[in-house]
Amino acid sequence: MRISVIGCGYVGLVTGACLAEAGHEVMCTDIDAARIAQLQAGGVPIYEEHLEEVLVSARKAGRISYTSDATEAIRFGDAIFICVGTPPREDGSADLSAIDHVAQQIAAVAQNSKLIVEKSTVPARTGQELNRALEAYSRGGSRRFAVVSNPEFLREGTAVFDFFHPDRIVVGVDDEAAGTAMQSIYEPILEHKFRCPMHQNGCPAEPKAEFLVTTINSAELIKHASNSFLALKISYANVIADLCEKLDGNVEQVTHAMGLDPRIGTQFLKAGLGFGGFCFPKDIQAFIQLAGSVGVDFDILKAAERVNKERIERFLEKVKRALWVVKGKKVAVLGLAFKANTDDIRFSPAIEVIRRLVEEGAQVHTTDPEAMEKAKKILPGVVFHADPYEAVRETHAALVCTEWSLYRNLDWERAGKLMARRLVLDGRNLYSPKKMADLGFEYFSFGRS
Ligand code: UDX
């Protein structure tokens, strides 16, 4: 099937690349002409593992192309995947203006019927409004636009893996034909008929992903509900960490034991500096707003958001208690990205920690394997080091903010010799308190007294 992708952010690029690699003809467009020019020149505007490899392979096979001419892209596809941004507005609700704009474009230039696939994260009832907008701007005629909601569950850092090895594929439709068309689009993924960049010798046997056909509203709710529940789980683990500090428990032991109950599950129970990134913070805000707009007070999500915001305060309290005076101290911050394996610093707890330390008068030295270029643009007065050992040199404390394996495997014996004081504050519970104590460190983390 011929597929158009509108919006070449990380969801659009990963979706376009993987569908092309799975055998479809894909044309991508974006309002950012420079981004399209970079892609046409073979460049990749985002850091995402395996993405470049898949884009190169799809291009060699002549199955992916890029245009800054939206009309050309809209007319190309039988299915149009809308992957534009839905950033938060002042009140936290999702800004849907980019989707509305695309609807007007499609209604204005499409020459035949299309499948219109919502891939962007949107609040429930957006599909209904999109349908209405397409009808209103189409002024009759024979073209039919079938709107489908197809939420993505891609995690930054593992997005290509997540696309090719989904837990489930959800499509919200108004009619059966649209569901069948979506099944044919995803059939190569479901049947593993693609060259997998992660598994050169063939993918390991795994249960076939479920292909779920729901209503459009349900599909839109599934995305917000899933992300919000994961955020809730993290905040729950963080409150357990606070309790463990008060009651002399160990949060790692508690959450490990909890997770062994398959009804709870081991994932997303890692206590620490809390969640960041461009999904969880904005999705729970948008979900709270949506619920409020129909008279549902989502107070447990509000609590999860409050608990998450408090992580920074909790961490800075530990720093102040340990350093006594922060002003004039040289502090190393290891990690800038909101999580490991991405260069994304949006809503990153590490950035907020650094901002607060600078406000307190500390000299901040920082490092990150991928996110420094982006962070340099927003952190004036901070010193950046490519080498983590240079970042900790002569510092009074080292703060671990992102769970990169580089820091998980850092040689603290060597680092300790370079530091002015062997003091580590670990915002991601990467190390064993005993091991760090044996190395002569003062060591503080979350939920482990
Ligand atoms: C998330 C969802 O996982 C994905 O399905 C959705 O499509 C987009 O949003 P992402 O934002 O890339 O993906 O990050 P994720 O891996 O989910 O982590 C989110 C945040 O939670 C990170 O800041 C991470 O450090 C934090 N986290 C995660 C914890 O603090 N504890 C955990 O146990 C897990």
CA of 231 to the centre of ligand 1 (A): 8
423, containing H or E segment? strand 423-426
Mutate to test the pocket of ligand 1, among 224, 279, 403 (most ligand atoms within 8 A of CB): 279
Residue nearest to atom 20 of ligand 1 (CA): 275
Q: pLDDT by residue (tens digit) across 105-157?
A: 999 999 999 999 999 999 999 999 999 999 999 977 788 999 999 999 999 99
Q: Is 279 among the residues known to form the active site?
A: yes
Ligand 1 near 161 CB (within 6 A) = no
CA of 155 to the centre of ligand 1 (A): 7
Instruction: Give me ligand 1 centre to Cα 226, in Å.
Output: 11
- pLDDT for 28 equals 98
Hey, whose CA ends up nearest to atom 31 of ligand 1?
270
Partners of 82 in beta bridges: 6, 118
pLDDT tens digits, one per residue of 190-216: 999 999 999 988 898 888 899 999 999
Q: In angstroms, what CA-CA distances link 136 with 15, 103, 104, 308?
A: 29, 10, 9, 42
Could you give the CA distance from residue 224 to residue 125 in angstroms, rounded to a whole number?
Answer: 12
Whether 272 lines ligand 1, by a CB cut-off of 6 Å, is yes
- Please tell me which residue in 83, 244, 279, 401 is annotated as part of the active site: 279
In three-state secondary structure terms, 198 is: coil
- With 0-12 / 13-18 / 19 or more C-beta atoms within 10 angstroms meaning exposed / middle / buried, residue 290 is buried
Beta strand 145-149 pairing with 363-367: unpaired
How high is the pLDDT of residue 142? 82
Task: Kindly give the distance from the C-alpha atom of residue 54 to the centroid of ligand 1, in angstroms, as a whole number.
Answer: 23
Pocket test for ligand 1, best of 258, 338, 344 (most atoms within 8 A of CB): 338
pLDDT at 205: 87
The answer to whether residues 147 and 134 touch, using CB atoms and an 8 Å cutoff, is: yes
Is the CB of residue 307 below 6 angstroms from any atom belonging to ligand 1?
Answer: no
Q: Could you report the per-residue pLDDT of 313-340, keeping only the tens digit for each?
A: 999 999 999 999 999 999 999 999 999 9
Positions in the chain whose pLDDT score sits under 70: none
Kind and range of the H or E run holding 331: strand 330-334
Query: Which residue, judged by its Cα, is nearest atom 13 of ligand 1?
Result: 155
Our answer on whether the CB atom of 153 is closer than 6 Å to any ligand 1 atom is yes
